[in-house]
Amino acid sequence: MTTIALTINGEARELAVEPYRSLLDVLRNEAGLTGTKKGCDVGDCGACTVLVDGKPVNSCLMLGVEADGSEVLTIEGLQPAPNRLHPLQEAFIRLGGAQCGFCTPGMIMMAAALLAENPSPSEEEIRFGIAGNICRCTGYTKIVEAIQAAGKELA
Amino acid sequence: MRRFTYHEPATLDEAVSLLAAPNAQILAGGTDLLVELKEQLRRADCVVNIKKIPGIAGLAYDDKAGLRIGALATAREVEVSPLVLDKYRSLAQSVRELGSIQVRHRATIIGNVCRASPSADTIPPLIADGASLRICGAGGERTLKVEDFFLGPGRTVLKPGDVVTEIVVPPPPPGTRKIYIKHGRRKAMELATVGVAVTHVPGAETRIVLGAVAPTPLRARHAEDLLRGKRLTDELIAKAAQAAVAESRPISNVRASAEYRREMVGVLTRRALEQLR
Ligand SMILES: Cc1cc2nc3c(=O)[nH]c(=O)nc-3n(C[C@@H](O)[C@@H](O)[C@H](O)COP(=O)(O)OP(=O)(O)OC[C@H]3O[C@@H](n4cnc5c(N)ncnc54)[C@H](O)[C@@H]3O)c2cc1C
Ligand code: FES
Ligand code: FES
Q: How far is the CA of A85 from the centre of ligand 3 (A)?
A: 19
- Residue B69 pLDDT: 98
Q: Per CATH, the architecture of B5-49 is what?
A: 2-Layer Sandwich (3.30)
Q: Which residue of B has its CA nearest to A21?
A: B1
At residue B129, the pLDDT reads 98
Residues B2-29: what's their mean pLDDT? 96
Question: Searching chain B, which residue's CA lies closest to the CA of residue A19?
Answer: B6
> Domain residue spans in chain B?
5-49, 59-169, 177-276
Helix, strand, coil tally for chain B in percent (to 5): 35, 25, 40
d(CA B15, CA B9): 5
Phi, psi of A16 (to 5 degrees): -95, 120
> What number of C-beta contacts closer than 8 Å exist between A and B?
80
In three-state secondary structure terms, B191 is: coil
- Residue numbers in A near B3 (CB within 8 A): 18, 20
Residue B185 has pLDDT above 90, yes or no: no
Question: Band of the pLDDT at B189, cuts 50, 70, 90?
Answer: confident
Q: Which CATH code is given to the segment(s) B177-276?
A: 3.30.390.50
**Could you tell me if A2 lies within 8 Å of chain B, comparing CB atoms?**
yes
- The answer to whether residue B190 scores a pLDDT higher than 90 is no
With an 8 Å Cβ cutoff, is A125 touching chain B? no
DSSP 8-state assignment for residue A28:
I
Helix A104-117 to helix A87-95 angle (10° resolution) is 120
Question: What is the CATH code for B59-169?
Answer: 3.30.465.10
Ligand 2 binding pocket, CB closer than 6 Å:
A 38-41, 43-48, 58, 60
Q: Could you write out the three-class secondary structure of B84-114?
A: HHHHCHHHHHHHHCCCCHHHHHHCEHHHHHH
On chain B, the residues whose CB falls within 8 A of the CB of A133 are: 100
Position B188 pLDDT exceeds 90 = no
Q: Domains of chain A: which residue ranges?
A: 2-77, 87-154
* Distance between Cα B84 and ligand 1 center (Å): 20
Q: Is the CB of residue A56 less than 8 Å away from at least one CB of chain B?
A: yes
> Which amino acid would we find at residue B84?
V
**Of the given ranges (B104-108, B137-141, B259-263), which has the lowest mean pLDDT?**
B137-141
CA of A39, nearest ligand number: 2
For chain A, say whether B188 makes contact (Cβ under 8 Å).
yes
The bridge status of strand B132-137 relative to strand B163-169 is antiparallel
Contacts of B224 (CB under 8 A, 6+ apart): B205, B206, B207, B208, B240
Give the confidence band of B118 by pLDDT, cuts at 50, 70, 90: very high
Q: Do the domains A87-154 and A2-77 match in fold?
A: no
Per-residue pLDDT, B108: 98
Taking contacts as CB-CB distances below 8 angstroms, the residues of chain B near A42 are 35, 38-39
> Does the domain made of A87-154 have the CATH classification 1.10.150.120?
yes
Average pLDDT score over residue span B147-160: 96
Residue B139 has pLDDT above 90, yes or no: no
Q: Which of A23, A25, A58 to mutate to test the pocket of ligand 2 (most atoms within 8 A of CB)?
A: A58
**According to CATH, what is the number of the domain A2-77?**
3.10.20.30
Of B12, B26, B32, B104, the residue with max ligand 1 atoms within 8 A of its CB, to mutate for a pocket test, comes to: B32
Q: Is the pLDDT of residue B187 over 90?
A: no
B59-169 and B177-276: same fold? no
pLDDT confidence of B255, banded at 50, 70, 90?
confident
Tell me how close the Cα of A56 comes to any Cα of chain B, in angstroms.
5
pLDDT in tens, B57-100: 999 999 999 999 999 999 999 999 999 999 999 999 999 999 99
Question: Does B186 score more than 90 pLDDT?
Answer: no
B64 in reach of chain A (CB within 8 A): no
Mean pLDDT for B168-191 is 93
Residues linked to residue B198 through DSSP beta bridges, in sequence order? B179, B208
**Residues of A whose CB is below 8 A from B39:** 42
Q: How far is B241 from chain A (nearest CA, A)?
A: 31
Per-residue pLDDT of chain A (155 residues; tens, 9 = 90+): 899 999 999 999 999 999 999 999 999 999 999 999 999 999 999 999 999 999 999 999 999 999 999 999 999 999 999 999 999 999 999 999 999 999 999 999 999 999 999 999 999 999 999 999 999 999 999 999 999 999 999 88
Q: Give the whole-angstrom CA distance, residue B226 versus residue B239.
A: 8
The rounded Å distance from CA B189 to ligand 3 centre is 18
Q: Do B103 and A56 touch (CB under 8 A)?
A: no
What is the DSSP-derived secondary structure letter of residue A63? Answer: B
Q: Is the pLDDT of residue B254 over 90?
A: no
The preferred substitution site among A50, A60, A109 for testing ligand 2, maximizing ligand atoms within 8 Å of CB, is A60
Find chain A residues with C-beta within 8 A of B35's C-beta.
42-43, 61
